[in-house]
Structures are given as C-alpha cells and as structure tokens.
Amino acid sequence: MNLRDIKVIVGGYMSADGKIAPANRVGRAFFKFMTPRHRRMLHKIRSRVDAIIVGVDTVIADNPSLTVREVKGRNPIRVVLDSSGRIPLDSKILETEDAPTIIAVAKNVLRKRVESLRRRDVEVFVSTRGKRVDVKELMNELRDRGVRTVLVEGGGETRWSFFKENLVDEFFLWMMPYIWGGRDAPTMVDGEGFLKEEDAVRLKLKSMKIVGKVLILWFSVKR
C-alpha cells in the first residue's frame, strides 16, 4: 500500500484574479456570495471525505469548525498543519466533541506547547523531519489510520505543499465575480512555485457550472 491509495482533493474559493484574501489578509468578502445552497454543496463535499486538512493561518484568520452541518453525513477527521504550534487554544477546531482532531507540528516545537494541545484532548502528530510538517509523512500516518480520501481546503501555502509533492488527484475552485488585486495578496496556491513549464501541474476540466454568482470548476490532475 502506498500514498496513491489515498485520493487527495484540493479546493477553495477565490476572486477572478486568483486572490483568496486582500493584501492585508483581513476580510473575507467571499462570504457575501455564499448562499445556503453553496454551504450545502461544500458540506456535501466534506461529508464524502475521511479527513479535512487546513493550514494554521486559515484557522487563525477564519476560526472554522470544519464540520458537516448543512447536510446529513459524518464529520471527517480535522487536520491542521501547524509547524510552529501557533494555533490559538480557543479555536473552534479544538472543540473535540464535534469531530476527531489532529494538530500536525514540526519536531522542533516546544514540548510544553505540545503538552498544552494534548490537554485539550486533541491528537498531536509530530513530524520527524525538518522545520515544517512533512506532508508525505503525515499522509502515511493518515493512510495507516484508514483514511482513503482527503480534502485540502486551504490556505495557499498548504495547497502548494500538496501540489509540490505530486499528491493531488482532483482540484476545484469557486470563482467569485470581482477583482481584488495586490501583488502581496495570497493566492489560491502560493509557496515558492514551479520554475519550469514542464514541472507545472496539468489539469483536465471535468465539470463547469454557475451556482448563483459563483463559477465552479472541477479538474482532474494529469499524471
């Protein structure tokens, strides 16, 4: 069994120019376009996966619950990539009665910080390599727990870490009808990026539809 046994779906919403927040990273104008139908669609996607992964910056900015509430279905495991152990201890995602939660940290995080998280009755996965969480190592851990489908919801650096390691099978985006601009504004996929055209990820369009004012595109990743 290898990592290809896990299906990885990456997705999120953005402006027409690819921004997921303004340059100051404050404000989420996307929410004014989110109707009850959109929320049901997102929660339906969540209900069909075994685990949801987000970066700690998403937790700090949005304080999400990452649960299934708008449709019938089980809550997947919630996983936060938090290399430095920065997650606020009052975050909604640490309310463990809603769903199992794993905080993934790098090996150099202070032991007392790890212990404070474990006192919140969440699991802490400590990556054994480097100053950042090794996503392949994390995926191996999830695979060993029986996880077979993963949804990576954000943010830009987290999405990049999965594309960089060639772990993504499907990619979807919800495009909102406005331009945000800003050379320093975070984008759908950030990170250092690929430098050669032959290294870029190739996509194949699977479906396209407009729901309300939102254009929804769904791609498979070519290998």
Chain segment 30-52, per-residue pLDDT in tens: 667 788 999 999 999 999 999 99
Structure-token match 């990556």, residue found: 127
What band does 223 get if pLDDT is binned at 50, 70 and 90?
A: confident
The confidence score (pLDDT) of residue 5 equals: 85
Would the pTM of this model clear 0.75, i.e. be above it? yes
The confidence score (pLDDT) of residue 102 equals: 97
Q: Is the pLDDT of residue 1 over 50?
A: no
In the chain, the number of structural domains is 1
The confidence score (pLDDT) of residue 35 equals: 87
Q: In what order do the strands lie in the sheet with 101-105?
A: 123-126, 101-105, 77-81, 51-55, 149-154, 7-15, 170-176, 214-221, 203-211
- Residue percentage of the chain with pLDDT more than 90: 80
In Å, how far are 16, 41, 76, 218 from 178, measured between CA atoms?
Answer: 6, 21, 32, 20
- Residue percentage of the chain with pLDDT more than 70: 96
- Provide the mean pLDDT of the chain: 92
Report the chain's C-alpha Rg in angstroms. 17
The arithmetic mean of pLDDT across residues 64-79, rounded, is: 93
Tokens encoding 14:
């953005």
* Structural domain of 202: 3-221
Tokens encoding 75:
């809550």
Q: What percentage of the chain's residues is helix, strand, coil (to nearest 5)?
A: 25, 25, 45
Largest Cα separation within the chain, whole Å, is 48
The confidence score (pLDDT) of residue 17 equals: 95
Chain segment 162-199, per-residue pLDDT in tens: 999 999 999 999 999 989 999 999 999 999 999 999 99
Measured in degrees and rounded to the nearest 5, phi and psi for residue 39 equal -65, -40
The confidence score (pLDDT) of residue 3 equals: 67
For residue 100, give the CATH number of its domain: 3.40.430.10
The arithmetic mean of pLDDT across residues 139-150, rounded, is: 96
Query: In terms of DSSP bridges, do strands 101-105 and 77-81 run parallel, antiparallel, or are they unpaired?
Result: parallel
Q: Is the pLDDT of residue 4 over 80?
A: no
The confidence score (pLDDT) of residue 106 equals: 95
The arithmetic mean of pLDDT across residues 56-67, rounded, is: 92
The confidence score (pLDDT) of residue 27 equals: 62
